[in-house]
Amino acid sequence: MRPNSPETSPESKPQTRKRPTITDVARAAGVSIAVVSYALNGRPGVSPATRDRVLRIADEYGWRPSAAARSLRTSERSIALALIHSESSTSRSGHFMDFLAGLQHTLEKHEHSLWLKVVADEEQAATMYHTGWLERRFDAVIVRDVIHDDPRLAVVSREHIPAVVVGHPQISSPHISVWVDEPHAIGQAVDLLCDLGHRTVGFLHSDPTRDTVSRTTQAARVSAARHGARLLTHVTRTPEDSAAAARALLTGTQRPTALVTDTDDTALITLDVARRLSLNVPWDLSLICLGSSAQATLATPSLTSIDVPFTALGEHVGHALMDLLSAGSSSNITVPLPPVSVRGTIAPPRNSDT
Amino acid sequence: MRPNSPETSPESKPQTRKRPTITDVARAAGVSIAVVSYALNGRPGVSPATRDRVLRIADEYGWRPSAAARSLRTSERSIALALIHSESSTSRSGHFMDFLAGLQHTLEKHEHSLWLKVVADEEQAATMYHTGWLERRFDAVIVRDVIHDDPRLAVVSREHIPAVVVGHPQISSPHISVWVDEPHAIGQAVDLLCDLGHRTVGFLHSDPTRDTVSRTTQAARVSAARHGARLLTHVTRTPEDSAAAARALLTGTQRPTALVTDTDDTALITLDVARRLSLNVPWDLSLICLGSSAQATLATPSLTSIDVPFTALGEHVGHALMDLLSAGSSSNITVPLPPVSVRGTIAPPRNSDT
DNA sequence: CTGTTAGCGCTTTCAA
DNA sequence: TTGAAAGCGCTAACAG
């Protein structure tokens, strides 16, 4: 007998922490541990009677297989996602939860779990992905909000970690991509404004690190050009910057009569700026943003926006991951963006008799 | 030789997924696996030369011990936290990230990890805590935003799961509590407003499920009473409700000249309502809220607020958990709230010559 | 200092 | 239908 062998009188309540193991359940049920395992996992080859008894006893004992022990045999499938928490990303986090909900919902249906970590920046995320991979903590990763020369993409490629990238297929490179066609949406927004008669349109992009910045700007430009309209662009980095940019635009000599923003937050800020400049939205200024309907409807006037389906995006990413993990590969997918939801912030320009 | 023994030609690149194990490293280093284990974990009893060599080879092989295998022996310590994602909680999620950052920072220092899950409600959180506990996925849990008859508290008590509750000691009951003294803060806000001369003060609480609602309301009431001021209270459930409540308050016969809100979001909404009623903040209406400075400074005028130190709160919870897990118990702690940060939304009432 | 070995709790052949 | 037993990869006694 080993020293310190715990006194296991069967009747004594496990006052401290002595959670039962499969052995305890097997003994209590008068069967071998194999049978318990079979019964629990719904494997064939156990008589219904035995199965029931085992299950009942397991339940009685409050027993569930230890995750660690189990995953030592059957690599428990899970997906890693690093939540990047910089000051700048704080605003976006509301949507992030929607994304997470959709993602986890899908993963759960396929019996995968999500391994979430909060990190400060992409660099940390990369090292986290690296060590986590070596420690076999997950089977695939998600890379969101790709930046230029993203370190996460580097490790993922180097270590051959299965990955799904939320971003344009081109930057996702060898990995599979789930893409929200923001440029297209921005183009549509500009189109709509031009169709209303606007001839000077502003475009505010609030995050220079995002990979979409050039693509969306380009789309806006093309769209404006097609209508013979002028496009004024500002790329900002912080909310304060955005406010400043909006003010600069709205007090400039070529004041745009309409503005498109890449974010509902930026739109809210712009709304505020306009108000302080005594510009009446939508009559003096039209406004369209990319964002969530929740945020959009809360403002006054409620924002005309293109509502990004964050939950659906999460689900798509989940499916892409499942395909990738099961089939070994998977095709890129484009998440459709709904048409502009017209709310209270657009109107023809005041002097639309150009 | 076992059937299906993998063809392991040492030189062949592990093209697919054949991550090395401790055995591979040991063999490559010409030592036993014990030595590798010792070397890796910095245990004494390995010659520096060997240690270096082992470490180098491990690194070369890109080897890190499998989390599952390791934690089968040494119960890897980790903490569970269920992120509740209901529509109503969406707005609060921005602060949540700050909390998480602080929490994880502390946990990491003590080599604990965070097990995060996104769930829809407290009920799901409770079952998640339950099964997770039985599966030995964590050693303690965090319960945040306690509601009335919280199912999480029920399982935690029933299963004797070590827990730290963010909430009033009284509702945290047998568990240890980390408490932000919101009632006190609200009281201070009301005091300040009364001192400025306000005699009719409104209090908007945006979440009837929170356990703080009665305590904060009571504090506001006491504070107002002390100054002989009138307190008008509204408890709302959704942003729309809050807007309606604010409007009701501001158009009522006894229009308050000052308002206190429990959330920066509510304050923003109130600001919007005031604007639409052509009330000039702060001259026609003073406003103080509980919230984060980030949100507060963004508005126009910038919100006078009591800035909740979410990151610090996370750190405190982390420390409480570490104490609980190591010492077996820990004392309740109260997180101090800073004094009111006076910004642009308070002023004496217009006719303060009462 | 280093190697051997016994498990951790579970899944999964292979025999009975 | 069941049981015995071999590991999964690692840590930690215990021997050498």
pLDDT digits (tens, 9 = 90+) for A69-110: 998 888 778 999 999 987 655 555 568 888 999 999 999 999
Tell me: the pLDDT tens digits for A245-282?
Answer: 999 999 999 999 999 999 998 999 999 899 989 999 99
Q: What span, in angstroms and rounded, lies between the C-alpha atoms of A16 and A26?
A: 22
- A57 contact partners, CB below 8 Å, separation of at least 6: A25, A28, A29
Q: Inter-chain contact A93–B91, Cβ cutoff 8 Å?
A: no
Place of tokens 């006894």: B254
pLDDT at A352 over 70: no
- pLDDT at position A16: 42
Q: Are B193 and B345 in contact (CB under 8 A)?
A: no
CA of A45: nearest nucleotide by C1' is: D1
B284 in contact with A at a CB cutoff of 8 Å?
A: no
B1-63, CATH topology level: 434 Repressor (Amino-terminal Domain) (1.10.260)
| CB-neighbour burial class of residue A89 (10 A; exposed 0-12, middle 13-18, buried 19+) | middle
The SS3 of residue A72 is helix
- Averaged pLDDT for residues B117-143: 94
Side chain identity, residue A349: P
With vertex at residue B10, the alpha carbon angle to CA B5 and CA B16, rounded to the nearest 5 degrees, is 70
pLDDT at A335 over 80: yes
- pLDDT at position A15: 35
Q: Inter-chain contact B98–A91, Cβ cutoff 8 Å?
A: no
- pLDDT at position B211: 82
Superfamily per CATH, domain A182-306? Response regulator (3.40.50.2300)
- pLDDT at position B13: 34
Give the residue among B80, B86, B85, B93 at the shortest CA–CA distance from B142: B80
Helix ranges (H only) for chain B are 22-29, 33-40, 48-61, 67-73, 93-109, 122-134, 151-158, 169-172, 182-195, 212-226, 239-251, 264-276, 293-298, 310-327
| CB-neighbour burial class of residue B45 (10 A; exposed 0-12, middle 13-18, buried 19+) | exposed
From A102, which residue of chain B is nearest by alpha-carbon distance? B118
Backbone φ/ψ region at B225: left (φ over 0), alpha (ψ -120 to 50), beta: alpha
Residue B264 CB neighbours (<10 A): 26
What residues in A contact B83, CB-CB < 8 Å? 97, 100
pLDDT at B248 over 90: yes
- Averaged pLDDT for residues B282-287: 96
A91 in contact with B at a CB cutoff of 8 Å?
A: yes
Q: What span, in angstroms and rounded, lies between the C-alpha atoms of A249 and A264?
A: 18
| CB-neighbour burial class of residue B331 (10 A; exposed 0-12, middle 13-18, buried 19+) | exposed
CA of A72: nearest nucleotide by C1' is: D8
Q: Mutate which of B97, B131, B247, B298 to disrupt the A interface (most A C-beta within 10 Å)?
A: B97
- pLDDT at position A294: 82
- Averaged pLDDT for residues B233-241: 92
Q: What span, in angstroms and rounded, lies between the C-alpha atoms of A291 and B321?
A: 38
Residue A88 CB neighbours (<10 A): 14
- pLDDT at position B74: 83
Q: What span, in angstroms and rounded, lies between the C-alpha atoms of B318 and A265?
A: 31
Q: What span, in angstroms and rounded, lies between the C-alpha atoms of B208 and B215?
A: 12
Place of tokens 């008859």: B149
- Interface size between A and B, measured as CB pairs under 8 A: 110
- pLDDT at position A91: 52
Q: Is the pTM of this model over 0.75?
A: yes
pLDDT at B178 over 70: yes
In this structure, what token pair is assigned to residue A111?
């019996």
- pLDDT at position B9: 35
- pLDDT at position B2: 31
- pLDDT at position B11: 33
pLDDT at A151 over 50: yes
Taking CA atoms, A73 is separated from A96, A134, A349, in Å, by: 33, 17, 67
Q: Inter-chain contact A69–B72, Cβ cutoff 8 Å?
A: yes
Mean pLDDT is lowest, of A298-302, A311-315, B10-14, B159-163, for: B10-14
Q: Which of A71, A90, A272 sits opposite B294 (nearest CB)?
A: A90
Backbone φ/ψ region at A4: left (φ over 0), alpha (ψ -120 to 50), beta: left
Give the residue among A185, A186, A142, A150 at the shortest CA–CA distance from A171: A150
Highest mean pLDDT among A25-29, A283-287, A329-333: A283-287
Closest residue to D2 (CA to C1') is A35
Q: Within 13 Å of residue B226, how many CA atoms lie on the same side as its CB?
A: 14
Q: Which one is predicted more confidently, A330 or B266? A: B266
pLDDT at B4 over 80: no
| CB-neighbour burial class of residue A263 (10 A; exposed 0-12, middle 13-18, buried 19+) | buried
The DSSP symbol for B147 reads: B
- Averaged pLDDT for residues B29-39: 91
Which B residues, 232 through 251, put their C-beta within 8 Å of a C-beta on chain A?
A: 239
Q: Are B171 and A99 in contact (CB under 8 A)?
A: no
| CB-neighbour burial class of residue A269 (10 A; exposed 0-12, middle 13-18, buried 19+) | buried
- Going A111 to A117 to A118 to A124, the CA torsion angle's sign is negative
Indicate if A77-180+311-335 has the same CATH topology as A1-63. no
Tell me how far apart the 2 most distant CA atoms of chain B are, in Å: 98
Instruction: Report the relative pairing of strands A176-180 and A286-291 from DSSP bridges.
Output: unpaired
pLDDT at A3 over 50: no
Average pLDDT of chain A?
88
Q: What span, in angstroms and rounded, lies between the C-alpha atoms of A291 and A345?
A: 14
- pLDDT at position A42: 87
Give the residue among B137, B152, B78, B80 at the shortest CA–CA distance from A65: B137
The SS3 of residue A12 is coil
pLDDT band of residue A5 (cuts 50, 70, 90) is: very low
Side chain identity, residue B251: T
For chain B, the straight-line distance linking the first and the last C-alpha, in angstroms and rounded, comes to: 97
pLDDT at B116 over 70: yes
Mean pLDDT is lowest, of A12-16, A59-63, B87-91, for: A12-16
pLDDT band of residue A326 (cuts 50, 70, 90) is: confident
From B328, which residue of chain A is nearest by alpha-carbon distance? A16
Residue A352 CB neighbours (<10 A): 12
Q: Mutate which of B78, B134, B160 to disrupt the A interface (most A C-beta within 10 Å)?
A: B134
Side chain identity, residue B351: N
- pLDDT at position B93: 57
- Averaged pLDDT for residues B329-337: 90
Mean pLDDT is lowest, of A58-62, B84-88, B89-93, B104-108, for: B89-93
The Cα of B198 is separated from the nearest Cα of chain A by a number of Å equal to: 27
- pLDDT at position A8: 36
Q: Name the CA dihedral angle for A152, A157, A163, A168, rounded to a multiple of 10 degrees.
A: 70
- Averaged pLDDT for residues B117-130: 94
Q: What span, in angstroms and rounded, lies between the C-alpha atoms of A284 and A279?
A: 6
> What are the backbone dihedrals phi and psi of residue B142, each rounded to the nearest 5 degrees, phi first?
-115, 135
- Å separating the CA of residue A326 from the C1' of nucleotide D9: 25
- pLDDT at position A129: 96
- pLDDT at position B12: 33
CA-only gyration radius of chain B, Å: 27
- pLDDT at position A14: 35
Closest residue to C2 (CA to C1') is B35
For chain A, the straight-line distance linking the first and the last C-alpha, in angstroms and rounded, comes to: 97
The SS3 of residue B210 is strand
What residues in B contact A298, CB-CB < 8 Å? 239, 269
Q: Are B267 and B256 in contact (CB under 8 A)?
A: no
Side chain identity, residue A148: H
Taking CA atoms, A326 is separated from A120, A196, B68, in Å, by: 32, 49, 22
Q: Are B104 and B78 in contact (CB under 8 A)?
A: no
- pLDDT at position B210: 85
B77-180+311-335, CATH topology level: Rossmann fold (3.40.50)
- pLDDT at position B260: 97
> What are the backbone dihedrals phi and psi of residue B231, each rounded to the nearest 5 degrees, phi first?
-120, 125
What residues in A contact B137, CB-CB < 8 Å? 67
Q: Inter-chain contact A100–B94, Cβ cutoff 8 Å?
A: no
In this structure, what token pair is assigned to residue B88?
């109503």
- B123 contact partners, CB below 8 Å, separation of at least 6: B151
Domain boundaries, chain A: 1-63, 77-180+311-335, 182-306
pLDDT at A223 over 50: yes
DSSP element (H, E) containing B304: strand B304-307
- pLDDT at position B91: 52
Q: What span, in angstroms and rounded, lies between the C-alpha atoms of B157 and B139?
A: 14
pLDDT band of residue B89 (cuts 50, 70, 90) is: low
Helix and strand totals (H; E) in chain B? 14, 11
Q: Inter-chain contact B64–A118, Cβ cutoff 8 Å?
A: no
- B300 contact partners, CB below 8 Å, separation of at least 6: A272, A275, A276, B344
